[in-house]
Amino acid sequence: MYRVALILAVLAAIGSLALSFTVTKPKIEGLVQERTDLQTNLAASESAKAEAEKKAKAATATADKKSSELAATQKELEAATSTATTQQARADKYFADYNKTLADKNAAQEQLAQWSGTGLKPDQILAMKADLKASKELTGVLADEKTILQRNVAALKNKLSKYEDDNRVVAMPGLKGAVLAVDPKWEFVVLNVGSQHGALEGGLLMVRRGDKLVGKVKIVTVEANRCVANVLPTWKQGDVAVAAGDQVLY
């Protein structure tokens, strides 16, 4: 009885093993196949990844090369543009110089034609030019002498008028100057205008500081480049006193 039970147990175990092998084997084989497929797919993915990285590196290298070439081309373009600008400026200058030279040539030819029409020789023209220069210089000297004589005549007439008319008006049109110094005690001023500027004894000048009238002075003595004038008390502007730097005008 015991032996039969043992045999039955063994048979049951063998049957269970057989059943288990029959069911499990396909699963194991499926898992193995899946692992094989995964490894194959992984290898393919890594190969594709490597290929993609290779292509990316190649594309990056190409892009860098293109960027470098573009920068070089841009630099060459800028250099060419700068050279073209310089050449254009030089050409413009040459063209302007040519036009000026041509104009000077035409003017010289025109002047030569005019001189030729006079029938004068070059030495005669030079002599006339020298005479003209001397005449101009003499005219300037005579004009200066005339101005000095006019001033002397005006001064003499002014001195004579002192004895003829106490109420005379001494005219000094256009005379302008400035106060150089002031003596507040004796109330006289020194001005930077004299007989060479048209200042005359007895002449009256207004004293201004900016746009404000600060007084009036009367010239008492005149030298070549300066004169002395008394401050007229009736023209004082309150506490405002005439000071050095104030402007005087007729």
Q: Note the pLDDT tens digit of each residue in 45-95.
A: 787 788 878 887 887 888 788 778 778 777 877 877 787 788 788 877 877
pLDDT for res 99: 82
Quick one: pLDDT band at residue 239, thresholds 50, 70, 90? confident
- pTM for the model stands at 0.39
CA–CA distance from 32 to each of 24, 28, 116 (Å)? 12, 6, 123
pLDDT over 80 at 224, yes or no: yes
What integer best gives the mean pLDDT of the chain? Answer: 79
Lowest-confidence segment of 80-94, 133-147, 176-190 by average pLDDT: 133-147
pLDDT over 80 at 245, yes or no: yes
pLDDT for res 10: 63
Q: What's the rounded Cα separation, in Å, for the pair 219 and 158? A: 12
Please answer whether residues 175 and 193 qualify as being in contact, where contact means their C-beta atoms are separated by less than 8 angstroms: yes
**Which carries the bigger pLDDT value, residue 23 or residue 187?**
187
pLDDT for res 25: 65
pLDDT for res 97: 81
Which one-letter DSSP state was computed for residue 209?
Answer: E
Beta strand residue intervals within 84-226, DSSP E: 176-183, 188-191, 204-209, 212-222
